[in-house]
């Protein structure tokens, strides 16, 4: 499937998914309304962006629909009015966890937890209203662009992360890069030891290229020392970038030592 064909198919799929979620919310106002039909199965080829994102972050069907509801308000201006009508006691023209729990199928309270993907990876932003369930939900800007099929960089990483250009590592380093790629493919994190900075960067870039990813480099000195700042800037944004933007930040756990004398 060509890039243009995928973009068109992705946009149709996203519009159908948002319409389905909207119809589910509207049933709170009109219980007799028939459920919206399920969107058609995606054609062969690359998965739709919403499916890729849900798989990457391990979203439950309910969490997936919460994200679609928040994205839908940005994509369909009239959906905000539907949200306001569905929760008049809050006076909020935006989705909330309260609305999602009442309207969406498969609702579960654990989706609100800071340990679950929606909040842990900051796929959604919660307004500081003092109430978890009544706080307006806003989809992260890059997540919204990704769902729409537009790849963008994260402004929170501008100036502190730079791409590593893949080159042609030596045969010995190429073997290490292949092992690193195998570990990353299996969900492991990798830590490179030995060699110089350029050698480690070459291995990281080659491993990412094998997975059709882009490697980013982030200096330890640019990571804020305070925990709250780390969550607000590079670590949260960067880790999300790995799954959402096909980037690989190689900050790793499993160790691979580079061959000496190369």
Residues of the chain with pLDDT under 50: 227-228, 230-231, 233-256, 260-262
Close Cβ partners of 220 (under 8 Å, ≥ 6 residues apart): none
Whether residue 213 sits in one domain with residue 174:
yes
Q: How many domains does the chain have?
A: 2
Last residue of a domain, one of 147, 166, 199: 147
Q: Are residues 48 and 113 in the same domain?
A: yes
How does pLDDT run across 1-11, given as a tens digit for each residue? 566 888 899 99
- What confidence score (pLDDT) does residue 254 get? 40
| Structural domain of 187 | 155-257
Helix, coil or strand: residue 90 = coil
**Tens of pLDDT along 105-162?**
999 999 999 999 999 999 999 887 678 999 999 999 989 999 999 877 667 777 777 8
State pTM to two decimals: 0.70
Calpha distance 65→47 (Å, rounded): 17
Final residue in a domain of this structure, among 147, 173, 195: 147
What integer pLDDT is reported at residue 229 of this predicted model?
A: 53
Structure-token pair, residue 174: 């190429």
Q: How far apart are the first and last CA of the chain?
A: 42
Per-residue pLDDT, 3: 66
Predicted pLDDT of residue 61: 95
Nearest to 46 by CA among 4, 16, 1: 1
How many Cα atoms are found within 13 Å in the side-chain-facing hemisphere of 245? 27
Residue 262, domain member (yes or no): no
- Listed in order, strand segments (DSSP E) in the chain are 124-126, 137-139, 161-164, 190-193, 214-218, 247-249, 254-257
- pLDDT of 253 reads 36
Question: What pLDDT score was predicted for residue 162?
Answer: 81
Residue after which a domain boundary falls, among 92, 114, 147: 147
Residue 245 falls inside a structural domain: yes
So what's the pLDDT on residue 39? 65
């Amino acid at each position: 499937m060509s890039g243009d064909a995928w973009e068109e198919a992705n946009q149709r799929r996203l519009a159908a998914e948002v319409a389905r979620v909207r119809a589910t919310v509207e049933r709170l106002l009109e219980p007799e309304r028939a459920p919206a039909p399920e969107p058609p199965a995606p054609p062969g080829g690359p998965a739709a962006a919403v499916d890729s994102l849900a798989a990457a972050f391990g979203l439950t069907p309910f969490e997936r629909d919460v994200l679609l509801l928040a994205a839908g308000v940005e994509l369909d201006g009239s959906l905000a009015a539907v949200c306001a009508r569905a929760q008049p006691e809050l006076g909020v023209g935006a989705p909330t966890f309260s609305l999602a729990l009442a309207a969406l199928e498969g609702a579960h309270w654990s989706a609100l937890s800071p340990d679950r993907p929606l909040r842990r990876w900051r796929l959604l932003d919660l307004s500081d209203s003092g109430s978890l369930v009544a706080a307006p939900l806003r989809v992260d800007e890059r997540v919204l662009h990704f769902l729409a099929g537009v790849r963008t960089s994260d402004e929170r990483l501008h100036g502190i992360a730079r791409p590593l250009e893949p080159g042609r590592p030596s045969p010995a380093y190429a073997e290490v890069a292949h092992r690193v790629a195998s570990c990353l493919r299996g969900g492991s994190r990798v830590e490179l030891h030995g060699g110089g900075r350029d050698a480690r960067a070459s291995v990281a870039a080659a491993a990412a290229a094998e997975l059709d990813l882009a490697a980013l480099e982030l200096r330890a000195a640019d990571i804020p020392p305070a925990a709250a700042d780390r969550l607000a800037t590079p670590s949260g944004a960067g880790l999300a970038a790995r799954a959402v933007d096909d980037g690989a930040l190689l900050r790793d756990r499993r160790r691979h030592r580079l061959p000496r004398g190369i």
